[in-house]
Amino acid sequence: MKKFTCVQDIGPLDIALAKAAEVKANPFSDQILGKNKTLLMIFFNSSLRTRLSTHKAALNLGMNVIVLDINQGAWKLETERGVIMDGDKSEHILEAIPVMASYCDIIGVRSFARLEDKAFDYNETILNQFIEYSGKPVFSMEAATRHPLQSFADLITIEEYKKVERPKVVLTWAPHPKALPQAVPNSFAEWMRETDYEFVITHPEGYELSEEFTKGVKIEYDIEAAYKDADFIYAKNWSKFNDPDYGKVVNIDRSWMVDETKMQLTRNAKFMHCLPVRRNMIVSDDVIESKDSIVIPEAANRVVSAQVVIREMLKSL
């Protein structure tokens, strides 16, 4: 595997899930694969889970790990070609990428949507520069439009907790005070679409995601109808995709918060969220603390999804 940015890069999901089960059962069996190999993790944005789980996955594989937080101690990077660099940015990403690549074997990149320019975000300008100019296998640790390591971990978790062969999985928009990217819901939709689950997205009108990710998916604006008989409730906030309000929050309707009343409509649904989550905005204390909340095993499976991806990349070196 030379890149991992979307569901297509992992191949058939049944095989990917079998690899995940293998990694989970024997996390240290491939240490020789990573010996004397270096993973460079580059963060343009903050992280807790991705940082730790990906690092742990690489250690499980016997790798060395270097972590660079671009905004803490590195030179401020220019990302646009053709710019006269007379401002505060000291280094161009087109030099920085090959230099960073020369110190490692595999690169993980976290670069969120800036929510200022839809074309810049949806062209995955930063991630694609790493793929084009590093000459190394590159995987996304959440980019502007997708978070595939999260979605893979979500899928692993659903498979572990589902009680019926074809569960009803509901992705629900939930309120949040700040504008957030669409990467997690885009990606979750993209991965769920590849399964045979009954998959439904519910959100207030105006929060439609890009059809690139939702084509063929049932969109239910009636939140109660969406929750009815659900087996999994996956909550996430996202800002608007459609113009003219791209990247904006136009509605903080608190009635969309996941709470006990709505969970009562489900078939004892499991509650999922990628975390970090704002309690009593996205989800009530009661729901996230309930026996049906699986946010912690979901986060723990981030090691597994990362380890499967890095292992495939090591095999391709």
Q: What is the binding site for ligand CP (CB under 6 A)?
A: 47-50, 142, 150, 274-276
Decide whether 223 or 233 has the Cβ nearer to ligand CP.
233
The CB-of-313 to ligand CP minimum distance in angstroms stands at 19
Decide whether 180 or 223 has the Cβ nearer to ligand CP.
180
Decide whether 106 or 184 has the Cβ nearer to ligand CP.
184
What are the Cα distances from residue 284, in Å, to 235, 255, 259, 287?
A: 12, 11, 5, 5
Decide whether 50 or 307 has the Cβ nearer to ligand CP.
50
Question: How would you label 7-22 residue by residue, b for 16+ Cβ within 10 Å and e otherwise?
Answer: bebbeebeebbebbeb
Q: Are 231 and 269 in contact (CB under 8 A)?
A: yes
Q: Which two tokens stand for residue 244?
A: 């003219």
> In the bound complex, which residue of the shown chain has the CB atom lying closest to ligand CP?
50
Decide whether 50 or 60 has the Cβ nearer to ligand CP.
50
Q: In what side-by-side order are the strands of the sheet with 3-4?
A: 3-4, 138-140, 106-110, 38-43, 64-69
The CB-of-110 to ligand CP minimum distance in angstroms stands at 8
Instruction: Map residue 290 onto helix, strand or coil.
Output: coil
In DSSP notation, 137-177 reads: -EEESS-SS--HHHHHHHHHHHHHH-SSSS-EEEEEE---S
The CB-of-69 to ligand CP minimum distance in angstroms stands at 13
CA neighbor of 121 nearest in space, from 247, 220, 269, 289? 247
Decide whether 223 or 288 has the Cβ nearer to ligand CP.
288
The CB-of-10 to ligand CP minimum distance in angstroms stands at 17
* Cα gap 273→144, rounded to integer Å: 19
The CB-of-147 to ligand CP minimum distance in angstroms stands at 6
The answer to whether the Cα torsion of 38, 39, 42, 43 is positive or negative is: negative
The CB-of-52 to ligand CP minimum distance in angstroms stands at 8
